[in-house]
Amino acid sequence: MFFIPTSKFKDYYDIARFNLTWNVSAFLFIVLTFLGITFLILDNGATIPTLLGSLVTFLLLVIMTISKSHILAAYAFSISGTFLCQFTLIYFENLLHFVDVIWIIMVVLFTYFSLGKRIGNMIFLINVLGVIYFILFVVKRNIEQLDEISEVDTIGLAINYVVVSLIIGYFIKQFVDTTKHAEKEYQLINSDLQHKNAQVVRQNEEKTVMLREIHHRVKNNLQVITSLLRLQSNELEGAKNKDIFSNTINRIVAMSLIHDKIYQNKDLAKINLVDYLKTLIDQISSSYSVDKNLCVDVKSNVEIIQPKNLVPIALIFNELISNSLKYAFISRDTGEIEIDIQQEGRNVKITYWDNGIWLEQQKPQSFGIELIETLVEQLDGEMVRSIDEGTRYTFNFLDKEES
């Protein structure tokens, strides 16, 4: 192994590329210098390109020593190596070119290893074009001008093959080493990710259990409050006061029901609105002892409503359903309620309709109407009320994510 200056790179792969460039340059400098002197003594035609190669590799070592980087030297090696190979292949028509191809392969492999795929492809294309040019326009004259192969030429060919084979073998070794290192890094990263993923899963399970327990306790606490209010209402005198307590209890029940549905659901982020509304209607009907035939149709394409919006929506429906049951069906034998909830993107549209007229709710500033308006403002939405073959409410709001 040759002396290697300290690289400024800390990354394993940059250090490997630096070492590759340095070692190949140093090896070629020694070999090419020896071959160049030998060819000069033997008056071989390959003397000039061999000594040029020796000079280039020496300059590369100087560049790397000064810059402590392989980048400039690798570019110089690839470009000058390509130039020398093509220059020898095309210009020296009376030389044997058996070894030029393996030198070209060595230069291309070096470029791929040291500079990456993009530059490697460019050097590969240039060398392929040079070889094609040689085959089309030079090879015929080269064959005609070749002399008989001497013993010196044979030895030179053998040395070239040995040198290039050693360098390509070194490339393969470096490739195997970096691949092993990459596999080791991948295994370490994968093991670390699996460990962190297990931690996240465990923490998520703990949070899910905790949230489920919180919803369960909130539901229980709200049920305690409703029980206390019911006990307190027994001491009240007057139907109006009892009605106020009953309305308050129903609002608390509507909120409690949300926490109960979330607690029972496997996915805490989802709540089945259709199931929730049907249960809410049943509970309110039971609260008001509704003895009429009630037909309820609930449609929804909503899968997820942001948790911060669930309580306002629940209270809105509580007011609407309560008012329908209390006031809309007095003069009717059958009550009809239709609820349609549609979501497109973040926009949610809620349509509530019943087939009655809210007789007691003609006062524009009744508490129920004020509460609905306040809840709609809390949702940053808008509300439209119309009386046409029944009473219809339309709500639009954006189901924004919690910030």
* Domain ranges for the chain: 12-147, 271-403
Per-residue pLDDT 10s for the chain (403 aa) are: 444 444 455 688 888 899 999 999 999 899 889 888 887 887 777 788 788 889 989 999 999 999 888 999 999 999 988 998 998 888 887 777 878 888 899 999 999 999 999 999 999 999 999 999 999 988 888 888 877 777 777 877 888 888 889 999 999 998 999 889 889 988 999 999 999 999 998 888 888 788 788 878 888 888 888 888 888 877 777 777 777 778 888 888 888 888 787 777 776 667 777 888 888 888 887 776 666 678 888 898 887 777 788 888 888 988 888 888 777 777 777 788 899 999 888 899 999 998 877 655 545 557 778 888 898 998 889 999 888 778 889 999 988 776 5
Considering the domain 271-403 in this protein, what is its CATH number? 3.30.565.10
From residue 15, alpha-carbon distances to 8, 113, 178, 210 in Å are: 8, 12, 11, 50
Residue 259: which of 211, 303, 227, 300 has the closest Cα? 211
Residue 50: which of 40, 39, 36 has the closest Cα? 36
Q: Crossing angle for the helix pair 71-91 and 117-133, nearest 10 degrees? A: 10
- Dig out the tokens for 298 from the structure: 């609930």
**Cβ of 64: how many Cβ atoms within 10 Å?**
24
pLDDT at 2: 45
Contact 87, 107 (CB under 8 A): no
Distance from chain centroid for Cα 280: 41
Token look-up 């206390």 returns: 228
Residue 268: which of 276, 259, 277 has the closest Cα? 259
Distance from chain centroid for Cα 104: 41
Question: Residue 136, SS3?
Answer: helix
Sheet-wide strand order for 382-387: 293-300, 334-344, 347-354, 391-398, 382-387
Instruction: List for the chain the helix, strand, coil content (%; round to 5).
Output: 70, 10, 20
Contact 333, 292 (CB under 8 A): yes
Tell me whether residue 253 is exposed, middle or buried, using C-beta atoms within 10 angstroms of its C-beta: 0 to 12, 13 to 18, 19 or more. buried
pLDDT at 359: 57
Contact 275, 282 (CB under 8 A): no
Token look-up 């290039």 returns: 164
Question: Residue 349, SS3?
Answer: strand
Flag whether the pTM goes above 0.85: no
Token look-up 């490997």 returns: 16
From residue 261, alpha-carbon distances to 45, 214, 310, 399 in Å are: 92, 13, 11, 20
- Rounded-to-integer distance, Cα 312 and Cα 351, Å: 15
Q: What is the 3-state secondary structure (H, E, C) of 224-237?
A: HHHHHHHHHHCCCC
Kind of pairing between the strands at 391-398 and 382-387: antiparallel
